[in-house]
Amino acid sequence: MRLCVRLGGLAVLLVGIAMALVYLRTETVCAGYRLHGLFREKRDLEKSCKQLELTVAGYKSPERLRQEVQEWRVASDGAGGGPGFAPAQRGSALAEPGAGSPPSFLAERSGAAPP
């Protein structure tokens, strides 16, 4: 009889430990998913911040905008050109010195016809 009580107590203890391990594993996985989502949100916010910086730079000085775009392209070499720039636009006149037309997103806001 004493042996059955001891084995029953041991079984209850082992089941409790197993349930705690399952709970901890589940919480760890959920925390990993939340962390991944936050990293994705941070990356998206950084992209939108950089695009807003480019917009402000374009309003201040078109030459400054060309310089910012060139630096950004060098920093993200092969990363798709950044937000708002399709791969086909990577070789556009925007990064060339002396190009007189504003970027399309600036032309749309100012009411001018895009080139």
115 located within any domain: no
For residue range 56-104, list pLDDT tens digits in order: 877 777 777 778 788 888 887 755 444 444 444 444 444 444 444 445 5
- Of 57, 79, 81, nearest in space to 68 by CA: 57
Residue 50 located in a structural domain: yes
Q: Is residue 7 part of a domain?
A: yes
29 belongs to a structural domain? yes
Residue pair 97/66 in contact (Cβ under 8 Å)? The answer is: yes
Whether residue 36 is contained in a domain is answered as yes
Q: How does pLDDT run across 16-31, given as a tens digit for each residue?
A: 999 999 999 999 999 9
Residue 83 lies in a domain: yes
CA distance 16 to 59: 64
Question: Does residue 17 belong to any structural domain of this protein?
Answer: yes
- Its domain, for residue 26, covers 2-110
Query: Residue 67 has what pLDDT?
Result: 80
99 and 93 in contact (C-beta within 8 Å)? yes
Q: What total of structural domains would you count in the chain?
A: 1
- Distances 115 to 5, 61, 103, 109, 112 between C-alpha atoms, Å: 87, 19, 9, 14, 9
